[in-house]
Amino acid sequence: MSAFHGANPQLIVFSGAGLSAESGLATFRGAHGLWEDMPLEKVCNYSTWEENFDAVHAFYDARRIAAAGAKPNPGHLAVAEWQKRWPGRVYVITQNVDRLLERAGCHPVIHLHGDVLLMHCVDCDFEWEIAPAAYDHAGCPRCRKKKTVKPGVVFFGQAAPHYEVLYELAANLRTADTAVVVGTSGAVLPADQIFGRSRAFSFLVNLEPGSEMDEAAFSACCYGSAGKILPTLTEMIGHRMENPSQN
């Protein structure tokens, strides 16, 4: 990812699971969240995943199948529209592993927590894409080992190489820039610290106020569903992107 600067104002969209909630995909926290039924220590922990191998694959099979059956919602489509309207000026960074942003037309998308369609062999480091279905347990196509195949999702305790990109982009934000943070509790990445305290004008769009972030740090907070709110931000974002002297 190249450095984040240029004459024109830039937009960063930083998303979490709430962006895909209206597409029918469960979020992680809160009522009916995925971590309510399944301890994340069991299926999302780099130091224990091998001992929970079957449960890990069953959990991510279910995520892959659910994502394949879901469709992008108006929130994803709004982000794709922004990225097309201002080429090279809109950075889409997501914690989501469902590829719905890409299916809405976003490109590129920076995936901080991996991608449920990818598999990774922790032994030979090979990474490959599988069909949008349950993993067939055929093993690593390169080294043929079976028990070293892990879903291509970043687990707790595992390095997340794209975090550096996130922090670099945020550090380079200027007052003319805009950051839209959508559908994230902030429990894993503190979007209030990263974007709310950046130089950019920062919006938080979440279903409801949460307790993980200092939401007063954002320039503005809009509570409601991403699919309803994001399309309504287009005009305001357009104004900021096209009239920087007024920002």
Q: Which residues bind ligand OAD (CB under 6 A)?
A: 16-18, 21-22, 27-30, 33, 40, 44, 95, 113, 153-154, 183-185, 187-188, 205-208, 210, 225-226
Q: How far apart are CA 147 and CA 143, in angstroms?
A: 11
Residue pair 79/106 in contact by the 8 Å Cβ criterion? yes
Residue nearest to ligand OAD as judged by C-beta position: 18
231 membership: H or E segment, kind and range: helix 226-232
113 flagged as catalytic: yes
* CA 149 to centroid of chain Cα atoms: 23
CA dist 171 to 85, 116, 165, 180, Å?
Answer: 24, 29, 10, 15
Strand positions, DSSP E, the chain: 11-15, 90-94, 110-111, 114-121, 127-129, 149-153, 178-182, 201-206, 220-223
Report in angstroms how near the CB of residue 152 gets to ligand OAD at its nearest. Answer: 11
Which of 113, 120, 137, 162 is an active site residue?
113
Q: How far apart are CA 189 and CA 148, in angstroms?
A: 28
Q: Indicate left, alpha or beta for 186 from its phi (over 0: left) and psi (-120 to 50: alpha).
A: left
Report in angstroms how near the CB of residue 81 gets to ligand OAD at its nearest. Answer: 18
Residue pair 217/242 in contact by the 8 Å Cβ criterion? no
What 3-state class would DSSP assign to 115?
A: strand
Q: Which residues are known catalytic residues? A: 113
